[in-house]
């Protein structure tokens, strides 16, 4: 297969057609383009939407190293800030874990995902990369073909198609790539029975730590995003619309669950964004189906309880870029054959820790029942050993920042 020639690519063909311009799709595109592999990104929404969609923002050290390795870290170096402390608030009081001094001694970098996506897009376009906005992939009818097709609805709403050598499905959990998986493909889905109301408040962070509050009313979380914006999460009744609670009720629940009366007031500010998240896991296995390869949320959905989603997306994009470059530029298919197993190793480790965090932070969902007391006692015991056992703290720190 050819290296990217200087002659313009025939219409609607690329060696790698990438579905979706999130962290996974855009990092993959940057790395392939830089490696001289002919690729094109198809994104359903507009550039403005992609660059302003507020989602994650907690980058693992491995993610920062990957972005630095590829010269894509200028934005996060300038505007990101390091974060290395968690604070747990329970009815037994509060305790802090300086996880930057535990485990491997590493910490997160807080950098809003929309800023990361904007950086990746700018780098890609400045380098002459191809991307088609408002182009919705509909299906990959022949994933096992050596020249797979992607059927699309173009920006004018007309049906069209793309021809590729490989298709990278980075279009999320509800995208065309997942819809095109061969019948019988394993999908490991788990609904954790917990729902969060995710909030962005135009207010400075109230703690210099990630705040986890365990309260009879339910969980509450506090995460810095920027010096002026704070991400909050509140455990929420499943099926309740995002706008069901007034701002006063939200502030009241945050103060109550974060025990502001005991630990100091929270900075309140207008809620600028609300979203309801049902905590779920949904892993596709394997991640390769002939010429169709999955990465990011298309590969595995993970609950936000341990901030792994965007970090897994970056890890998988780099693995896939190396594998596709080896195959297309050097004719070596080894890495591509190993991609699925390698990525799934990281995915399942992240799913394991994410589930551990869900069980730590939440009472057993549903009305109290015989098991509840057993579950609650396990939870208190986990918290107690996290507060007192250095070995447990090191284990926590390594998994909390790891990916
Ligand atoms: N055709 C083209 N583009 C599509 C289609 C489609 N049919 N369906 C979805 N998309 C686009 C979306 O508009 C979005 O821009 O695919 C992109 C997927 O991006 P993300 O959802 O950000 O997914 P990913 O890159 O896998 O990163 C996921 O980032 O936000 C965190 O925690 C989140 O884990 C998640 C991670």
267-309 confidence digits (pLDDT tens) = 999 999 999 999 999 999 999 999 999 999 999 999 999 999 9
Burial status of residue 112 (CB atoms within 10 A of its CB: 0-12, 13-18, 19 or more): buried
Active site residues: 83, 212, 304, 308, 400
Tokens (6 digits) for 63:
């993610």
5 has a pLDDT exceeding 80? no
| Residues 48, 158, 43: CA angle, nearest 5 degrees | 30
* Smallest CA separation from ligand 1 atom 17, residue: 20
* pLDDT score recorded for residue 1: 42
Which residues pair with residue 284 across a beta bridge?
187
Show Cβ contacts of residue 10 under 8 Å, excluding neighbours closer than 6 positions.
none
pLDDT of residue 8 exceeding 80 = no
Pocket residues: Cβ below 6 A from ligand 1: 19-25, 42-45, 50, 55-56, 113, 136-137, 170-172, 175-176, 296-298, 309-310, 313
CA of 24 to the centre of ligand 1 (A): 8
Q: In whole angstroms, how far apart are CA 100 and each of 76, 213, 397?
A: 19, 20, 8
Tell me what the mean pLDDT of segment 104-113 comes to. Answer: 95
Q: Do the strands 39-42 and 130-132 form a parallel or antiparallel pair, or are they unpaired?
A: parallel
- Assign 294 to helix, strand or coil: strand
Ligand 1, atom 34: nearest CA belongs to which residue?
309
Q: Rounded to the nearest whole angstrom, what is the distance from the C-alpha of residue 19 to the centroid of ligand 1? A: 9
Give 173 Cα–ligand 1 centroid separation in angstroms: 8
What distance in Å separates the CA atoms of residue 30 and residue 24, rounded to the nearest whole number?
Answer: 10
Q: What is the pLDDT of residues 239-256, one digit of tens each?
A: 999 999 999 999 999 999
- pLDDT, averaged across the chain: 94
- Counting ligand 1 atoms within 8 A of each CB, the residue from 44, 161, 179 with the most, and so the one to mutate, is 44
Q: Using alpha carbons, list the distances in angstroms from residue 14 to 21, 165, 187.
A: 16, 7, 29
C-alpha 101 to ligand 1 mean position (Å):
34
pLDDT above 80: residue 362: yes
Residue 2 above 80 pLDDT? Answer: no
């Amino acid at each position: 297969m050819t290296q990217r020639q200087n002659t313009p690519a025939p219409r609607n063909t690329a060696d790698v057609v990438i579905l979706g311009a999130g962290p996974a799709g855009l990092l993959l595109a940057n790395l392939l383009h830089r490696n001289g592999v002919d690729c094109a990104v198809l994104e359903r929404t507009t550039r403005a939407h992609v660059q302003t969609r507020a989602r994650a923002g907690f980058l693992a050290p491995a993610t920062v190293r990957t972005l630095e390795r590829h010269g894509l870290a200028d934005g996060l170096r300038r505007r990101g800030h390091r974060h290395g402390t968690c604070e747990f608030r329970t009815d037994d009081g509060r305790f802090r874990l300086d996880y930057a001094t535990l485990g491997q001694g590493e910490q997160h970098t807080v950098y809003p995902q929309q800023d990361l996506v904007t950086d990746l897009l700018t780098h890609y376009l400045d380098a002459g990369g191809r991307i088609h906005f408002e182009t919705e992939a509909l299906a990959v009818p022949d994933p096992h073909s050596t020249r797979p097709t992607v059927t699309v609805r173009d920006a004018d709403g007309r049906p069209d198609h793309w021809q590729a050598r490989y298709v990278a499905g980075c279009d999320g959990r509800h995208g065309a790539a997942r819809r095109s998986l061969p019948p019988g493909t394993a999908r490991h889905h788990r609904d954790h029975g917990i729902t969060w109301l995710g909030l962005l408040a135009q207010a400075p962070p109230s703690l210099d730590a990630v705040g986890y509050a365990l309260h009879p009313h339910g969980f509450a979380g506090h995460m810095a995003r920027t010096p002026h914006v704070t991400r909050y999460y509140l455990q929420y009744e499943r099926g309740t619309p995002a706008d069901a609670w007034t701002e006063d009720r939200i502030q009241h629940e945050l103060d109550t669950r974060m025990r502001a009366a005991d630990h100091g007031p929270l900075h309140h500010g207008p809620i600028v964004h609300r979203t309801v998240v049902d905590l779920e896991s949904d892993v596709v296995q394997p991640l390769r189906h002939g010429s169709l390869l999955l990465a990011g949320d298309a590969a595995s959905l993970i609950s936000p309880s341990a901030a792994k989603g965007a970090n897994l997306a970056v890890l998988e994009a780099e693995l896939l870029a190396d594998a596709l470059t080896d195959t297309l530029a050097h004719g070596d298919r080894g890495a591509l054959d190993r991609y699925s197993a390698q990525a799934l190793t990281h995915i399942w480790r992240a799913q394991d820790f994410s589930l551990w965090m869900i069980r730590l932070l939440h009472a057993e969902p549903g009305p109290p029942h015989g098991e509840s007391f057993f579950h609650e006692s396990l939870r208190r015991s986990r918290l107690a050993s996290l507060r007192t056992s250095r070995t447990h703290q090191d284990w926590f720190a390594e998994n909390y920042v790891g990916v």
